[in-house]
Homo-oligomer: A and B are copies of this chain.
Amino acid sequence: RIKASGLKLRFCTNETQATREKFVKKLQGMGFDISVAEVTAPAPAACRILEERSLRPHLLVHNDLVPEFAEIDKANPNCVVIGDAAENFTYANLNEAFRVLIGMEKPILFSLGRGRYYKETDGLKLDVGAYMKALEYACDVQAEVVGKPAKAFFESALAEMGVPPEEVIMIGDDIVNDVGGAQRCGMRALQVRTGKYRPCDENHPYVKPDAYVNNLAEAVDILLQQL
């Protein structure tokens, strides 16, 4: 309905456990009209940065994300990229990423997101942000975060749509990463009361959405009514 109305549309995800191809297939299976070209995701954003700055990464990411870095030179690494590596967050792999970092004159660490934790069917899991903090502390370095809520990430989505922020509305379920991040770029932002949403988000100490909606369908209804 959004696409049919002529509005421009972009999907911004912090998904780093799968390539965009896999991610899009999953959403297509749920009935969404979505293609890879419409997705802004941390791994391709990181690849652009690596190329611009001639950096060769040591990767600590999920196996399923590795193909996103296929075109990137990874020999003799001069930076580290961590994503939500899940089962790849082993003691040995963390020590290896640490050794690569501490061996650099000035360690460069990229983190694909800064989430604290998330829920899977078998329970809560530590997210990439926790491992980012571990490496930051051990190496006395600050990671560069690629993904929501980083300003550069939202700005690349805006550039891909070719629209200024004041003409854009972000719809998301995460009060800090979706709503707060988009607002800091000058967009308006709606929070849906589904998914990651919790009632206590409505008393968040420093982020206030421009409006709440009960779900994504309601958000679409309201937006289309304004046209």
User: B-contacting residues of A (Cβ < 8 Å)?
Assistant: 86-87, 89-91, 94-95, 98-99, 102, 116-117, 123-127, 129-131, 133-140
Having A98-B117, A130-B135, A133-B134, one finds 11 other A-B pairs with CB under 8 Å, namely: A86-B91, A90-B91, A94-B126, A95-B125, A95-B126, A98-B126, A116-B140, A117-B138, A126-B134, A127-B138, A133-B133
Q: How far is the CA of A90 from the CA of B90 in the complex (A)?
A: 6
C-alpha gap A135/B90 in the complex (Å): 16
Cβ contact within 8 Å between B95 and A124: yes
Q: What B residues does A138 contact at CB under 8 A? A: 116-117, 126-127, 129-130
Task: Tell me which residues across on chain B come within 8 A of A98, comparing CB atoms.
Answer: 117, 124, 126, 130
Chain B residues within an 8 Å CB radius of A139: 116
Please measure, in the bound complex, the distance between the C-alpha atom of A90 and the C-alpha atom of B129, giving whole angstroms. Answer: 17
Measured between alpha carbons, how far is A111 from B124 in the docked complex, in Å?
22
Closest to A102 in B: B124
CA of A91 to CA of B125 in the docked complex: distance in angstroms? 9
Q: How far is the CB of A137 from chain B (nearest CB, A)?
A: 4
Given contacts A86-B91, A89-B91, A90-B91, contact A123 B99 (CB under 8 A): yes
Complex Cα gap A136–B132 (Å)? 12
How far, in whole Å, are A217 and B206 apart by their CA atoms in the complex?
58
Closest to A98 in B: B126
A131 to B135, alpha carbons, bound, how many Å?
Answer: 9
| Closest beta carbon of chain B to A88's beta carbon, Å | 8
A136–chain B nearest beta-carbon distance, Å: 7
